[in-house]
Amino acid sequence: MPQITAVILAAGKGTRMKSELPKVMHLLAGLPLIDHVLDKVEKLGIQEKVTIVGHGREIVSDHIANRSGILVQEKQLGTGHALIQTLPLLKDDSTILVLSGDQPLLSSETLSSLLRHHQESKASATVLTAMMDNPFGYGRIMKKNGIFEGIVEEKDANPDQKGINEINTGTYCFHGSSLKSALKQITPQNAQGEYYLTDVFKILVSGGLKIETFCTADPSEALGINNQVQLAEAEEILYDRIRKYWMMEGVTIMNPSSVFIDAQVVLSKDVFIYPFTIIKGNSRIEEGAMLGPGTTIINCICGSGSRIENSVARDAEIGKNCLVGPFAYLRPGTELGEGVKVGDFVEIKNSRIGEGTKVPHLSYIGDSILGENVNIGAGTITCNYDGKSKYKTVIGNNTFVGSNTNFIAPVEIGQDAIIGAGSTITKDVPDKALAVERSQQKVIENWQRAKDSRG
């Protein structure tokens, strides 16, 4: 089999996105568009990859430098001009797979079928096409008696050509030497004054070379992203694919269309997801965990059997069999041991909470280490910040903290200690001690009558 070089076109400005961000860096299910394309190419085992960058080149190259070769297209004069940049690298006898960085839904199965078709038919070029109910905006495939004749862009098409439903997906296979000679002949004589890659086909056809088309079974794979509406459409399709994938792997999703799972998320069987739940980033959810309703999880590990309800968790690690929420907020650096309970209106940041510990209601725990089986009374706050620096609170195993306690950090409480409710704790407390900090309660008998007699 000839050597395959993948070329990904990603230099365009993405004018129609009306955004400062280069088009291929827009996120789709949590990953930039370009990553989706490179993932598919890597899945095919293609080693040689070259991405053409131009607009926003620093951002794009920084992002992909470790996985793709990079060529710069100084001026974005069209898709053909982008491909011309690869001329010095193209080998005569290799197969060139050309992809667009804005076409993230193509599956690696489709690409592999395209390559197979191209190689078996021994064509000079093969165009990946799709049948679209609404082909507006795409290049149309012109055929006569089923034989490929060329591609006409929307802006250059006459009304008859606009009625063609078979479109150019912008993904192609080329025989190296044919592509090289055709690229040298294209000119910008068209409605947009650009060097169209699609003009290569006109040249190949007039040279009598064999061009094949290969049509995708699923036209949604061909969706090109040129504006924010198409980005949202593609995202809907991808989220639907991801949900179906995980359901087939044994995940239960109630009201699937209200649940959004990013591309890199890993779930396990018997995970149960309630409606209105979003799972993002590099999150891993283990067997039997229950998430939602109304829960957002970003870059978290959630242990098996844990339950997170109506809560937000970011960069946190939740052990097995924990109960979180309703209405809890786990911030970066939170680590919950096995069987921890974090209840309603509790915020935890940069803290390790030991096995079996409970923080059930209305608390803020920041920069803290809590041992095992600690009980934190309602309304307890760690005062970790003095306006300049952050300080640590440490509480030993089995300590009972009464409600409405303030820990003025830095402070360390031993094991098996008791803190009286309502205390503001400023000094360390040893193991097994009771610490109470309260002014004495005054009781003035018959206060109401005395007040009345004062008139």
Q: List active site positions.
A: 361
Which one of residues 5, 178, 198, 334 is an interface residue with ligand UD1 (CB under 6 A)? 198
Of 226 and 415, the one with the shorter C-beta distance to Ca ion is: 226
Of 76 and 226, the one with the shorter C-beta distance to Ca ion is: 226
Per CB under 6 A, contacts with ligand UD1 among 14-73 are 52, 54, 73
Q: In what order do the strands lie in the sheet with 335-336?
A: 284-285, 301-302, 317-318, 335-336, 352-353, 368-370, 393-395, 411-413
* Residues 50, 53, 55: CA angle, nearest 5 degrees: 170
- 148 belongs to the binding site for ligand UD1 (CB under 6 A): no
Q: Tell me whether the omega of the peptide bond preceding residue 104 falls within 30 degrees of 0, making it cis.
A: no
Which one of residues 102, 335, 355, 367 is an interface residue with Ca ion (CB under 5 A)? 102
> Which candidate, 376, 270, 256, places its Cα nearest to that of 328?
376
- 138 belongs to the binding site for ligand UD1 (CB under 6 A): yes
Of 153 and 221, the one with the shorter C-beta distance to ligand UD1 is: 153
Stretch (H or E) spanning 64: helix 57-64
- 153 belongs to the binding site for Ca ion (CB under 5 A): no
> Which candidate, 238, 147, 249, places its Cα nearest to that of 201?
147
Which tokens go with 29? 């299910």
- 169 belongs to the binding site for ligand UD1 (CB under 6 A): yes
- 102 belongs to the binding site for ligand UD1 (CB under 6 A): yes
Of 129 and 399, the one with the shorter C-beta distance to ligand UD1 is: 129
Which tokens go with 283? 């999150």
Residue 107: burial class (beta carbons within 10 Å; 0-12, 13-18, 19+): middle
- 230 belongs to the binding site for ligand UD1 (CB under 6 A): no
- 104 belongs to the binding site for ligand UD1 (CB under 6 A): no
In angstroms, give the least distance from the CB of 372 to ligand UD1.
Answer: 54
- Number of Cβ atoms within 10 Å of the Cβ of 182: 25
- 224 belongs to the binding site for Ca ion (CB under 5 A): yes
Which region, judged by CB under 5 A, interacts with Ca ion, from 23-31, 101-109, 158-166, 401-409?
A: 101-109
- 194 belongs to the binding site for Ca ion (CB under 5 A): no
Binding-residue total with Ca ion (CB under 5 A): 3
Q: Which residue has the tokens 């067997």?
A: 287
CA 243 to chain centre: 14
Closest residue to Ca ion: CB criterion? 224
Which tokens go with 6? 């993948």
- 166 belongs to the binding site for Ca ion (CB under 5 A): no
Residue 314's binding partner, choosing from ligand UD1, Ca ion, none, with beta-carbon cut-off 5 to 8 A by kind? none
For 437-452, give the DSSP string.
Answer: --PPPP--TTHHHHHH
Which region, judged by CB under 5 A, interacts with Ca ion, from 31-39, 64-72, 220-228, 272-280?
A: 220-228
Binding-residue total with ligand UD1 (CB under 6 A): 30
Burial 411-447 (b: 16+ CB within 10 A, else e): bbbbbebbbbbbbebeeebeeeeebeeeeeeeeeeee
> Which candidate, 97, 81, 15, 35, places its Cα nearest to that of 72?
81
- 11 belongs to the binding site for ligand UD1 (CB under 6 A): yes
Quick one: DSSP state of residue 194?
Answer: S
Closest residue to ligand UD1: CB criterion? 139
Q: Tell me whether the omega of the peptide bond preceding residue 326 falls within 30 degrees of 0, making it cis.
A: yes
List all residues 6 or more positions away from 332 whose beta carbon is below 8 Å from its beta carbon.
Answer: 314, 315, 316, 349, 350
**H-helix segments, 207-269:** 228-248
Per CB under 6 A, contacts with ligand UD1 among 294-333 are none
Which one of residues 224, 292, 305, 325 is an interface residue with ligand UD1 (CB under 6 A)? 224
Of 29 and 127, the one with the shorter C-beta distance to ligand UD1 is: 127
In angstroms, give the least distance from the CB of 293 to Ca ion.
Answer: 37
Residues that bind ligand UD1 (CB under 6 A): 9-12, 52, 54, 73, 76-79, 81-82, 100-103, 138-139, 151, 153, 167-170, 196-198, 224, 226
Residues that bind Ca ion (CB under 5 A): 102, 224, 226
